[in-house]
Structure 1
């Protein structure tokens, strides 16, 4: 089981700052928090070593790239043993951007991005539902994403 790492106030301030803007220089954070840039560097490295910070990423505006349809699809498999092979096949679909193994009504829950409803229809019929392990699907189309954030440090 993963060990929960204890963060102090300085760690949380640094993490919160990096989560808001990963490009903030250590010197600027040092001034902001009244510590040296070296202290900020050491704290960041400790959080990386502890697995709290696992990397940085570029956030992409999907609408600017033409992806106007975001949807969530609940997938029921024929059998639980089909999970691994179904995930391998889902990984091959560029439109699938997230996947979760879930309890409840679905075995797998995926987030899918498409450029249009027509493309979504094609992906559903010719790609996703064509996966042998998929018994049934239910599609929920997102109208907007009013809340999008990370967990609080």
Structure 2
């Protein structure tokens, strides 16, 4: 049973097809769910208006453009006053792909992509203004 009464099973099918491949045309999805491309477009707009679809993304190969270092950083804030300035710092740095506020170990988890060890080192030096950190490097993506 759906928790949001404004969407139906067809909307969920369309959503699942878009999750599998967001580059599919609405006409192609329409053939799969027995609707016209225009009807699928209207349903996609509705899913966007409801905030169910927040955007689209692509799969890409960062190493092909030189981003060969993929790091996961746990940040341990040094004071409660540092959070706001840290969040501003995170928004300004394009190397920081994701940041999550977490419970458990650390205050934030960050995913970072950089081109060189030197670039990572410079970023880590800047993090010291906000607290300490722990770094784990990705050696292979399995999923």
Identify which of 110, 132, 144 aligns with 2:140.
Answer: 144
- What stretches of structure 2 of length at least 5 have no aligned partner? none
* CA–CA distance in structure 1, aligned partners of residues 91 and 48 of structure 2: 27
TM-score, normalising length from structure 2?
Answer: 0.85
Task: Look up the SS of the partner of 1:5 in the other structure.
Answer: coil
* CA–CA distance in structure 1, aligned partners of residues 48 and 13 of structure 2: 15
Aligned length: 140
Is the contact made by 1:72 and 1:110 (CA closer than 8 Å) also made in structure 2? yes
Task: Look up the SS of the partner of 1:64 in the other structure.
Answer: helix
* CA–CA distance in structure 2, aligned partners of residues 63 and 91 of structure 1: 23
Instruction: Indicate whether 1:5 and 2:4 are aligned.
Output: yes
* Alignment match, 1:92: 92
* Alignment match, 1:124: 124
TM-score, normalising length from structure 1?
Answer: 0.80
User: Greater share of helix residues, 1 or 2?
Assistant: 2
What does 1:7-86 align with in structure 2 at a 5 Å threshold?
7-86=7-86
1:94-118 Cα deviation digits (max 9, x unpaired)? 3211111111121111111111333
